[in-house]
Amino acid sequence: MKYRLKHEASSLKLVRREAAFKHFAQKVADAEIVISTRLHLFLIASFLNVKTKVYPYQKKILKMQKVIEDISIKT
Q: Please count the other Cβ atoms lying within 10 Å of the Cβ belonging to residue 11.
A: 7
Cα 54 from Cα 45, distance rounded (Å):
11
Which structural domain, as residue segments, surrounds residue 60? 25-74
Q: Residue 61: what pLDDT?
A: 84
H or E, element range at 48: none
Query: What's phi and psi for 3, nearest 5 deg?
Result: -110, 135
* Domain annotation covers residue 37: yes
Q: What is the mean pLDDT of residues 50-54?
A: 90
Q: Is the pLDDT of residue 17 over 70?
A: no
* Domain annotation covers residue 53: yes
Average pLDDT, the chain: 80
Q: Is the pTM of this model over 0.75?
A: no
* Domain annotation covers residue 32: yes
